[in-house]
Amino acid sequence: MMPSLPQLLIVLAIVVVIFGLGKFPKIAGDLAKGIKSFKKGMKDDEPEEKSEQQESISKSDEAPSASTTNTSDKKDA
């Protein structure tokens, strides 16, 4: 359930009363920085996972090398 506009205004008024108008921009700025760093952290993780998946796929696509032995070089005992 989404809060309505009057409910948001009441919450905003309470926050202004508690923290004052001077601290409100600082708190909002810190919150924005936190959200931005969280998104950056999430974005940094994605390429790492993709490169690991691509690496495992490329390894599984490679044909295993067959080792050949030459039996003519062996001496019968």
| The pLDDT of residue 21 | 80
> Which residue numbers in the chain have pLDDT < 70?
46-77
Sorted by where each begins, the domain ranges of the chain are 25-54
Q: What are phi and psi of 43, to 5 degrees?
A: -70, -35
Measured over the CA atoms of residue 43, residue 47, residue 48 and residue 53, the dihedral's sign is: positive
**pTM of the predicted protein model:** 0.39
* 27: Cβ contacts below 8 Å, ≥ 6 apart: 19
| The pLDDT of residue 24 | 77
- For the chain, the average pLDDT equals 76
